[in-house]
Amino acid sequence: MNAENDMGPENPEADKVSNDSSPPTSDESESTGEQPLPLATCVRWMVLGEKTVASLFLLVIVSTMAAQVFARYVFNDPFQWSEEVARLALIWMTFISAAFVMAEGRHIAVDMISSRVGDGGKLFIECMSYVVVAVTCLLLFIGGASFVWYVGKVGSPALGVPKSWWYGAGMVGLLLMAGHSLVNLFQVWMTGKPIPRETHVEEEAFRLEMEQSE
């Protein structure tokens, strides 16, 4: 009996310690974590693919220009096609990068109005911005598609690549940016609040510098 009595009060203490030491699951997840946005996985894979393609184009630019410098100053026989390859890769890298920068909300923006209104105003302004960007990109795509088709008959001087490959990069970038804008609009519409963005150190430092100068 004494052993049972001795063990009795120790078990609740041990259970209490073990329960206190175990990490909370529901409360901590509710306080720190948020519900995932709709189509978040799809957006993540799209951004990853765009970053991969842009990185490959950047690798092409660096390797092509390095080979050109080596051929020019070592063999004294520069390539005739290297500048066109680098230029073509730069064009594609620019428009592909514009797409995932759009998805991450890191394009240059002026928030003079949204910073002075409430949550409802911020939500309305964000939705309107996505609508304007999507409509503008689609209109530019429709208007430029005929031009891209027309210049496809003309080839570049060194590579002979059709000009549609050059101007087609803009069409692809416009489609991707319109797609990201529509996905962002859908996410805002389903959640009823603006999309949370990561705070960038550069932006905070710039704001601090502007406040100090004022």
Give the tens place of pLDDT for each residue, 69-123: 888 888 887 788 888 899 999 999 999 999 988 888 777 777 777 777 777 777 8
State the virtual CA torsion across 163, 165, 168, 173 in degrees, nearest 10: -140
What stretches in the chain show pLDDT beneath 70? 1-35, 194, 196-214
pLDDT value for 21? 46
Which CA distances in Å does 157 have to 82, 85, 87, 153, 163?
Answer: 12, 12, 13, 13, 10
pLDDT value for 194? 67
- In this structure, what DSSP letter does residue 155 have? B
| Cα-Cα end-to-end distance for the chain | 78
pLDDT value for 201? 47
3-state secondary structure of 116: helix
Q: Which tokens in the block code for residue 12? A: 């609740």
CA–CA distance, 25 with 60 (Å, rounded to integer): 47
3-state secondary structure of 158: coil
Residue 154: name the closest of 164, 169, 144 by CA. Answer: 164
Gyration radius of the chain over CA positions: 27
pLDDT value for 153? 77
Given its phi and psi angles, is residue 105 left (phi above 0), alpha (psi -120 to 50 degrees) or beta? left
pLDDT value for 127? 86
pLDDT value for 173? 92
pLDDT value for 121? 79
